[in-house]
A and B are shown apart, each in its own frame.
Chain A
């Protein structure tokens, strides 16, 4: 074909030129045409090649075409040259596809098949078909009608080419009048499928609605017309059904997601708090919720395996001494003061250890209550340990991969934080608040990053602060030690000789320390000037250390005679104190500040008392220590777990309410760390600490002889031994015997230590790799940023998007008419998706330039294709060599330049 090419191309030029002329009528049409051209760019080359062949065929076909047209009833006579030009592209593509299909059906001469192969290779891709559809839609409506005629014609053409079979073909043609040939069927089918696909995906296309509607209508008409002919009417219904089902599925999935979210308890409440107070305050509530979940499981274990069986199957109240209030206490057993001390009826109830009987098996089910009691007591610890550690591990993972978010923190907040789905003004208010809060959080972070200051001074102050705090802690520790000592002396004295002060000295000192120290620590922490998030951690750690003293005294003073009652009493008093503090410290304060402000001599809201801030560290630690109490006490007072659930439940509602209506956000709202692993770490420590005394008592102390499930046993764990001996087969006993052999235990421990060491080393390695990768990413990003100026985009979608802009008159036309100064052109270098109406006429000429320029494929391409660099629309002034050919094409810019002048290299 090469020798022919040139002449064919010239024909092509004329065609295109005419096409441009034809489109002269309006700017809108022109814009579309531009778009079309642009889109057509990738196929340009292929088309041109195929044009060559097709031109030949065209000529050959010339005499036959009238007949072909006649054959199709609805076909419109193609009498004008313009029409033909416009259809050119369509036909080419279709021809290709029909030929391709024909090829499958028929055996043709070598020459032709080669030809076809070439075309097939280049053209008949799906994209091409879509192009053709698009173009068809853009063109005059009659094109759609012409499709049928085209088909026939193409077929004819092909037949004509395969001249050796001409005679037979003629005959076949006659029969074709009645029934379509196989090849044609296939082609039609393909076409129909194509259209269907178009209909299905139309909504994803970046076109304006008008064009979409036109296209849709055409496609639908086409499908309707030919589906019947192909006997595929059913397919449409099936298709509709499929689409419907897909939609239903999506909706179902979405509803399910919503349902899942709705199932998370207090999610909304917490989100509310978070949006107004920041993630740091919310982290407390999330922690609270997590605790609630943990305690629900503990409650299930305790009540399901111990309390409920005892109530249902154990001996009833009053049957044996341990289940009866002694006669001398009967009179006062129901008094409030007695009950509030958990004496009287409370003491002889399922709330406490002592109530449970030591009968080996109870009820019809032969439930082994003592065994179950022991196992649950230990199991609570086991489960808690497992859950805490697992949560920590998971949180650590989550914290790890969030590292690269730093790149676009602010940008994403700015552009993606508003949820367009919000359709409720209350939600919208919350969203505004949360966006503001999150911005403030990030700003605080950023300020901290930017701050540079006297590092030596800061270091000195930090060391000083730590020294001061250590002094405080040491002092308070000594104080506690001192008063505990004294209290032991007092305990040996006659109670009547002691004053009230002496009796309650320990409690008094403890409360005083708890009251004074945290604010003191906070004041000292000001010296350090940490980021609030880190400051919170320090604060938590320090108060934790302080409270450990509390724990120590508690264990010291009560430990010899473990009294389950104390745990319950402490828990209850803790609840009371917490709630009272909230009521007085926050609510009353808020009320006073709010209403006395009207008649006060200074501004209460802005001035001294102001509203309270939510005390994160205090509340978190309160929660943690309370949980420690529960862990320690649960073994001796199964009812404690139930009590704790009530506490957590009420405090969730109460504190949420208190926060929302009495507190103000922190002065510097800060973002909580992604995981609340610090809380978890403290919790783990407390769990461990509370585990020690309980395990100690289980393993070493002998249980009291007259009450509790283990009465009569030498040691509590004897119930396990008993069960193994009596109820399990002998070999299991043997296994236990071996398992407890020190010879086995030592290697096992050694193995575990080794495994620990190995895993630790591995995780260190991964961490290092992580850090390296992060560094690399950062470097790559910087590099990209630097290189960006020279990089061109050839992204097709971006080009598609350019003609989407609805309004062409937003930019004042006056400014547009003037060619922008050269430096701006270079600088901007980006797409101007707008086509100005004022430039319409000019644009046309440019187009012509472009189209003239394009078809000279042999010239070397001197300029970079550089779609990004192309100045917008009419900015051809400053472009070098705009006059002839390619330079103009480039300058002509977005529309023509890209489509026509594309890759004309041979």
Chain B
């Protein structure tokens, strides 16, 4: 899958969709992945899995360290530390509705359903 080869989150995707959480996928997991990433999948489902993908430490919250990881993967560590910190703070500031300093699934969904590009970017065609 070239789409996965170039995806900065490929490792996470494999982990999230695999039954054992280690990235070893069975055929069913594989099919699961594509059904989630297909165009037909409902938005909430996609949002849920997106949340899991960005939740690197599996604590059901996207916290600062998750955000930093995401950002560094997205920009290939091109941003300075200050910039990274600032962006993460801004993200929390924007999306964290209950002010606990991290994003819960609820916060994430609240934010992501308003994103204009989410559905068009979070899918893979086969």
Chain A residues packing against B (C-beta within 8 Å): 203-204, 206, 208-210, 212-213, 250, 407-412, 414-425, 427-428, 432, 435-436, 439-440, 442-443, 446-447, 784-785, 788-789, 793, 797-798, 801, 804-807, 809-811, 827, 830-834, 868
Q: Does B50 sit at the interface, judged by CB under 8 A? A: yes
Q: Does B81 sit at the interface, judged by CB under 8 A? A: no
Which chain B residue lies CB-closest to A435? B74
Query: Bound state CA distance, A785 and B107, in angstroms?
Result: 10
Residue pair B83, A443 in contact (C-beta under 8 Å) = yes
Residue pair B115, A412 in contact (C-beta under 8 Å) = yes
Nearest Cβ in chain A — how far from B33, in angstroms? 9
Which chain A residue lies CB-closest to B49? A804
In the complex, chain B residues whose CB is within 8 Å of the CB of A435: 74-75
Residue pair A418, B121 in contact (C-beta under 8 Å) = yes
Residue pair B97, A439 in contact (C-beta under 8 Å) = no
Known: A409-B94, A806-B19. 20 other contacts (CB 8 A): A209-B31, A209-B35, A210-B28, A212-B35, A213-B28, A407-B114, A412-B116, A415-B50, A415-B108, A416-B112, A418-B9, A418-B74, A420-B3, A436-B74, A436-B79, A439-B87, A788-B98, A798-B106, A809-B20, A831-B105
Nearest Cβ in chain A — how far from B51, in angstroms? 9
Which chain B residue lies CB-closest to A254? B125
Given contacts A210-B28, A428-B6, A806-B16, is CB(A416)–CB(B122) below 8 Å? yes
Residue pair B45, A209 in contact (C-beta under 8 Å) = no
Residue pair A415, B75 in contact (C-beta under 8 Å) = no
Nearest Cβ in chain A — how far from B40, in angstroms? 5
Query: Bound state CA distance, A407 and B83, in angstroms?
Result: 19
Chain B residues packing against A (C-beta within 8 Å): 1-3, 5-9, 16-21, 28-29, 31-32, 35, 37-42, 44-45, 48, 50, 52, 54, 58-60, 67, 70-71, 74-76, 78-79, 83, 86-87, 90-91, 94-95, 97-100, 104-106, 108-109, 111-112, 114-118, 120-125
A-B contact pairs, 11 of them (CB 8 A): A206-B42, A407-B114, A409-B90, A414-B91, A416-B115, A417-B121, A419-B121, A421-B124, A424-B2, A432-B75, A447-B86
Partner of B70 from the list A414, A432, A440, A443 (CB cut-off 8 Å) is A414
Which chain B residue lies CB-closest to A209? B28
In the complex, chain A residues whose CB is within 8 Å of the CB of B40: 203-204
Partner of B60 from the list A203, A833, A868 (CB cut-off 8 Å) is A833
Nearest Cβ in chain A — how far from B126, in angstroms? 10
Partner of B121 from the list A208, A416, A443, A806 (CB cut-off 8 Å) is A416
Residue pair B1, A423 in contact (C-beta under 8 Å) = yes
Which chain A residue lies CB-closest to B78? A436
In the complex, chain B residues whose CB is within 8 Å of the CB of A419: 120-121
Given contacts A410-B91, A806-B16, A807-B19, is CB(A421)–CB(B123) below 8 Å? yes
Highest count of chain A CB atoms <10 Å: which of B9, B40, B95? B95
Highest count of chain A CB atoms <10 Å: which of B21, B29, B67, B98? B98
Which chain A residue lies CB-closest to B28? A209
Partner of B83 from the list A250, A416, A439, A810 (CB cut-off 8 Å) is A439
Residue pair A411, B74 in contact (C-beta under 8 Å) = no
Query: Bound state CA distance, A410 and B74, in angstroms?
Result: 13
Q: Which 4 A-B pairs have the closest CB atoms?
A: A807-B21, A423-B2, A428-B6, A209-B28
Residue pair B74, A423 in contact (C-beta under 8 Å) = no
Nearest Cβ in chain B — how far from A436, in angstroms? 4
Residue pair A203, B91 in contact (C-beta under 8 Å) = no
Query: Bound state CA distance, A210 and B108, in angstroms?
Result: 28
Partner of A411 from the list B21, B39, B52, B95 (CB cut-off 8 Å) is B95
